[in-house]
Each structure stands twice: as structure tokens, then as C-alpha cells.
Amino acid sequence: MIRLRHALSGILAAVAGIAAGHLIAGFLDPASSPVLAIGSTVIDLTPTPVKEWAIARFGTNDKLILQGSVLVVTLALSALAGLLARRRLALGIGFIVLLTGLAGAAALSRPTAGVREAVPALAAMAVGVAVLVLLVRRVAVPSRPADAPDEVDTADGAPRTTGTSRRGFVGAALGVTALSALAAAGGQLRAGARSLKRIVLPKPADAAKALPTDLAGQVPGISPLRTPTAKFYRVDTNLVVPQVDADSWTLEIDGMVEKPFSMTLQELLAMPMIERDITMTCVSNEVGGGYVGAARWLGVRLTDVLDRAGVKGSPDQLLSTAVDGFTISTPLEVVRDGRDAMIAVGMNGAQLTDTHGFPARLITPGLYGFVGATKWLTKLTLTTYAAEQAYWTKRQWATDAPIKTSARIDTPAPLSTVKAGSIAIGGVAWAQHRGVGKVEVKIDDGPWQETKLGPAVNVDYWRQWYLPWDAKPGLHRLAVRAFDNEGRAQLTERATPFPSGSSGIQEVVVTVE
């Protein structure tokens, strides 16, 4: 019982500290909240294979699971701090100081951190120690002689609390719990309330054509031709979505250029805008996976901005930096080969959402997101691969990563049961910057059959496809493969996403009854 209370004292000290830190971080910088700071550091330090495993195993829940794990480990260690405090209060205090110190170091080690990022951890330290002392002093010591003397209360000269009522401890514990919940909720509210600035999107000087008729009206269950922003996949290393202030945001252009310069959002918005339909894919997308989305982007041609700065020497890499210090490298050759690489400010007719990179992000058609789609962009640096490496390059991912031709079956869903009769097998296929020329489906051990293709929007966009099927009762295997416009078949060899994207044929099993 006494042990339990000591352990609980440690846990509540941590809970109170974490909550206090979260509250302060809500005002200063949400990412510096102790658990989040440690979580982000864990993300950066996690070896690539483990990260791949986590993404494959947990998908978009990977962040929640990571934060949950950090919390559980912290609470377990805090219980230990409480038990140590039973032996000697100073030991417990030392342990809490150590834990919060680690959180502070993690917050300070973020690429863009200043000294103020350490404040939430310091607050957590102060509150954690105070709560530990408060609660440990209230742990009632039973009057059995074997347990006396009570080291805890005499070691620091505090009055003996032997016999302190059970209510004293329980009341204090409940009070700490309630205050912690309030503080954590306050921090959460405050972090979310940082208002997103509305910007006025200019009209494109070079607009995209209206989208052709979507097959979704005809083939139930197929992906819509354009992915709604709310359904668009999200992939990034951020536990807290950066909230960028549009008024103070700048885009810097530096490195191997003749005239480095910096521009405001208003200056960027005043440049001629292009509007393009482009399908993005994440290199972590497994065969048949959902890390792919098609949207209409509004932005400034990337070369228009780079040309203002000129070139000095022979750079071969465009290194782009996000507001949180995250970096992406894009081959300069690709940026300059005439494709519609852009600094996007609009997505599907609205300003970028916070999750998709407000106020500005890169979009490079044909390349996986990790080498061309920097969100929360703030700097473009002309450099060389020999001189500088971006975040994922340092973690051994490919430097030049064109999107591999691929097809996905949307309907019928894998392992689903469908009614016998005439239905459609349908989905999407993509071969960015080459265009999809043909999609074939194979049913059981039958021949590859050519499907009907939906409208071609442009070579950087995906294509819907479907095959009418007279489905007979039983278990069936459906496979799909795509060809690009030059007739090249997608790779059939199975490959993992690391280091340059997955490949292989998607095969689904369905039951017809």
C-alpha cells in the first residue's frame, strides 16, 4: 500500500509536470511540449528499418502510437522515481530532474529551437518536483514499528507525518489530477487556437482545364478523379502540425546563386500563378496502399523564383528547408527539365491547410513527396549533393526518386464479399510524368484483359480504369498491372518502399456469393 502510494506519487508528479509543460508550450511553441519534444527526437533517431516497420505496421496511427509509448515509458520511470523517493526523497527528486532534463535537451535539440523551447521542460521540472514532495509527504506511514523511522519525512527536516490521514494523500492526489487535466486541456486549446491566417488566392495566369467527367458516378467504389483535401493522405515527421504566421513568413533563396534574396508571402502571391492537376505519391506507399492523392494545385513556377537569383558555380541539388528545419533535396536537373515544379499556395481551390503545408509548399510532378514536396517551405538553397544532404538522404533513402508506375484496385475491396452478377472491377493507376497508357486485369488464372480507361487529365495525373465483370460465386483472385504511355509495364518484382519506392503486382482476393 505504501509502495503503491509512492509509485503513484511519482506518476502524478510526472503527469502534473507534463501537463504544466504542455500548457506553457501551448503559448510558446506547441512542439516544445515535453512528451512531443521527446517523441520528435525519437522519430529523428529511429533507424530507417524500424521506421519503415512502424509505418507499415501502424500506418497513419504511427504518431499516436509513438506518443503513447513515450508517455507509458515516462510514467513507468516516474513510478520508479516515486519508489526511490521512499528510500530517499533526494533520489526521487533527482530522477524527476533527470527525466525533465532529457525533455529539455530534446526540445533544445530541434533544428530551429531557441532557449525558450526549454521553458516547458523547466516548468515540468519545477512542477514535477513540487508535486513529488507534496505527495510523498502525505503518504501515511503505518504505525508498525518495523517501518519506522520514516526516512522520507525526516531526511529533509519536514515534520513527521506518520499517521497522516489517508484522506490527506487521496485529496492531494485528486487535486493534482484535476489541475493537471485542466492544464493539459488549456495547453491543447491554446495550441489549437493559434489562428490560421486567411489569405486571398490570386487567379491563375495559366489555368488548368475543367476536369473531365469523373468515372465515380459510373463505377461505385472507385476513387474520385480528384481527392478531396480532407481525404488527402498526410505524411510528415511532425508530431505537431506547424502553424505558420503568414505575415512574418518569408521565403529565402540562397546558396550557389548570384543574388540571394528573400520574399514575403505578398510578394510571392504577386507573381504569375500556374494551376495544375498533379497526383502525389509517397515513397512509403505499399502496393495497393493509400499514400497517393490527386489534387489541383495553384502556385508559382519554381524556376520563375530560382531564375531571379541566378546561378553561381555548378549546383546539382535544390535543398529546400521547412520552418521546422526539416529538409528535402531535389535534383536540379529535374527541377529545370520543363515539368511543372511549383511553389504551391493553393490546393483544390483553397489556401493550403496547415496539414498540407500552409502557406507554401513545393510540388514536383513525377517525384515521390520526400524528394520534391516540402511543406511549410521557407528556404531554397542551390547546392551540391557532395556538400549537403537532406533529412531522408542522411537516412539512406534514394536521392533521385521518380514515382514508379503502379495500379490499385479500389473495388471490390480486398477480402470483401460481393453479390454475384455483373459488377465492375475498378481503381486508379499512375505513371507520373509519363502518363498511363493501359491497365490490365487478370481474374484467377485467366488471361490479362485490357480495362476501359477513364479520361486522361494530363501525364502527371492518375487515371481511373474499370473492367465489367460477370462475377460467379466462389473465391476469386484479381490482379492489376499498369503500362505507361510508352508501353512500358510496371515492375512486377516485389520491392519494399525503402529506398526508392515499392513495386509489384497488387492481387486481391474476394468472395462472390
Ligand X SMILES: Nc1nc2c(c(=O)[nH]1)N[C@H]1C(S)=C(S)[C@@H](COP(=O)(O)O)O[C@H]1N2
- Residues lying near ligand X in the complex (CB under 6 A): 232-237, 280, 282, 322, 326, 356, 369-370, 373-376
Of 373, 26, 346, the C-alpha closest to 198 is: 346
Of 239, 238, 246, 268, the C-alpha closest to 195 is: 246
Report, in Å, the least distance between residue 291 CB and Mo ion.
7
**357 is a site residue for Mo ion (CB under 5 A):** no
Report, in Å, the least distance between residue 291 CB and ligand X.
6
Q: Which stretch binds Mo ion (CB under 5 A): 69-77, 159-167, 231-239, 458-466?
A: 231-239
Identify what 322 binds: Mo ion, ligand X, none; CB under 5 to 8 Å per kind: ligand X
* Residue from the set 54, 75, 179, 235 that interacts with Mo ion by CB under 5 A: 235
Separation in Å, CA 220 to CA 215, 232, 423, 487? 9, 19, 9, 28
Report, in Å, the least distance between residue 68 CB and ligand X.
20
Report, in Å, the least distance between residue 9 CB and Mo ion.
44
Cell of 61: 496511427
Spatial separation of the C-alpha atoms in residues 446 and 353, rounded to whole Å: 46
* Residue from the set 21, 369, 435, 454 that interacts with Mo ion by CB under 5 A: 369
Identify what 234 binds: Mo ion, ligand X, none; CB under 5 to 8 Å per kind: ligand X
Report, in Å, the least distance between residue 368 CB and Mo ion.
6
Cell of 471: 462475377
> Which strands sit side by side in the sheet containing 317-322, from one edge to the other?
261-264, 250-255, 377-383, 317-322, 327-331
Report, in Å, the least distance between residue 236 CB and ligand X.
3
Query: Closer CB to Mo ion, residue 62 or residue 156?
Result: 62
Phi, psi (degrees; rounded to nearest 5) at 43: -55, -50
Q: Which helix (H) or strand (E) holds 255?
A: strand 250-255
Which residue is closest to Mo ion by CB? 282
Report, in Å, the least distance between residue 362 CB and Mo ion.
13
Q: Roughly how many angstroms between the first and final C-alpha of the chain, as a whole number?
A: 60
Of 446, 433, 429, the C-alpha closest to 483 is: 429
Query: Closer CB to ligand X, residue 173 or residue 371?
Result: 371
Spatial separation of the C-alpha atoms in residues 48 and 121, rounded to whole Å: 28
Binding to Mo ion (CB under 5 A) within 236-295 occurs at 282-283
Identify what 426 binds: Mo ion, ligand X, none; CB under 5 to 8 Å per kind: none
Query: Closer CB to ligand X, residue 218 or residue 353?
Result: 353
Which residue is closest to ligand X by CB? 369
Cell numbers 467527367 label which residue?
213
Query: Closer CB to ligand X, residue 51 or residue 88?
Result: 51
> Which strands sit side by side in the sheet containing 463-471, from one edge to the other?
406-411, 421-430, 463-471, 452-453
Q: Cα dihedral sign for 348, 353, 358, 361?
A: negative
| Chain contacts with Mo ion (rule: CB under 5 A) | 235, 282-283, 369-370
